[in-house]
Structure 1
Amino acid sequence: MPPAAAAKRKAKPLAATSPSPVKKNAKTTAPAASNDDASALSVQQQCFLQALLSRGIVESEDAEALYREIVEDDAANEFTRFWGEIAVALKFLDLDIRTGKFEGDGKTYMAVVNQGTTEVAKLATRMTPAEIALFRVAMLEILRDDSSAERGIDFMSALNSTELQLTQDASTQDGATQMTQLEKQTQTVQKMSKVVKDAALNDLVAERWLERVDDGRRLTLGPRSFLELREFILAQAPERARARWDKLL
């Protein structure tokens, strides 16, 4: 892709601090586009895509501000079309752009997501197998019941995976296979030292897969998890949490 400097005007970094309040009706899907629209991205669209990919996840209002910087256009109603054309072009690579409101802070986020056929394939490729296993174990423990989904799980329990009580969905046909996979992942996590687990969990928090709450003592799912693993989370979530999250995602 052309470097960001090729854009009409150099894009400013996305704000690291809290932006303006989020607008209502946060759930957004990419608009339809013709084959001609999807055949090639403009330099400005490539610049915007590079910014999204480099940051992993951004607040939607920051993304819109970046769009205005790149295209030098104050017509906010064109923003959805702008990124929608990018999303259409990305479908060839099993990628998409998603937006959704995060319950934890009430803000709307945007990210490029992987729509691969397996949930593990949707995780960030920069993760090691051990980090993926740790995230999977923590995520399923968070989704264990409505209490853990709402309050999160104890951070120290996440460091000591022997305390986690994984659940098996016996109603699914491949339940036994799924449990075997989880057992293997749990064994992988148990072999990690607490120092390594602590570093991995901190990385997952920094990349917004997980969130620290209750003064850092507990872990919940972060906005990136909801964007990247939306279908899986809603399928695995307990009843009250599923009903609540379904309205936001």
Structure 2
Amino acid sequence: MTTMQPFSALPDAALRRVRGILTDIDGTLTTDGRLPASTYLALDRLARAGLHVIPVTGRCIAWAEILTRLWPVDAIIGENGAFYSHLHNNKLVTRFLDDEKTRAANLERIHALGEAILREVPGSALASDQAWHAADLAIDHAEDVPPLPQQAVERIAAMMREAGMTATVSSIHVNGWFGKHDKLSMSRLCVAELLGDDVDANRDDWLFIGDSANDVAMFGHFPLSVGVANVREILHLLPVTPAYVTNAAGGEGFAEMAERLLVAREG
């Protein structure tokens, strides 16, 4: 495991190269489940400065499509890479990875597995927005239920994997889905299709900021990987840590990152 450096240690020259920001939402843009005014202002300032901003979240399609309309962002990747939503000529477009038939079949399997998990893991619940998920299963372990013990969280993830799913743990949900996609694979596709850029060849031009275990692939891929301060709470669960960490937690940490990035670009 690498040692995180304070975000202040990231050289200005590296920040001046950044053309786009990929960001988690829960616990990264939000603080205690709310979007601080400073975070929204930071998003707006980044967009006005000509930087691309793409939130990458485990949240459902309903969240993604609504926030795509409301936030100053290029697109939103949802359900851990099952799709991305964006506006084209002010019309909402959602680009799914799987076709409609595959998604319908998977949702039947997801419904059955969700019921089995609730029976086996006391205190767990379907995420409050599960009815609006298009491609994955979200089990609440800390949002609208009292936080579950780590053993219970691990059992939920294990049941998903035993059923053939990919499973990840966010700060509030355990998410599972059929297929090998994740936040990173859909980030590649979204950036290539919408912006004509390559986040593998040009990874130094993109910054990722997050806070949870389902951000590990992103932390490992981008040299400019940043954790907001609350990532420290789960370092023992991360096989790969972000390279840098902000002083502030949650949305205030994102705003801290944005301010330093914008000042570096002006220098």
Q: Shorter-normalised TM-score: what interval?
A: under 0.3
Normalised TM-score (structure 2): 0.24
Tell me which structure has the larger Cα radius of gyration.
1
Normalised TM-score (structure 1): 0.25
Higher helix share: 1
Higher strand share: 2
| Higher RCO by CA contacts (8 Å cutoff, separation 6 or greater) | 2
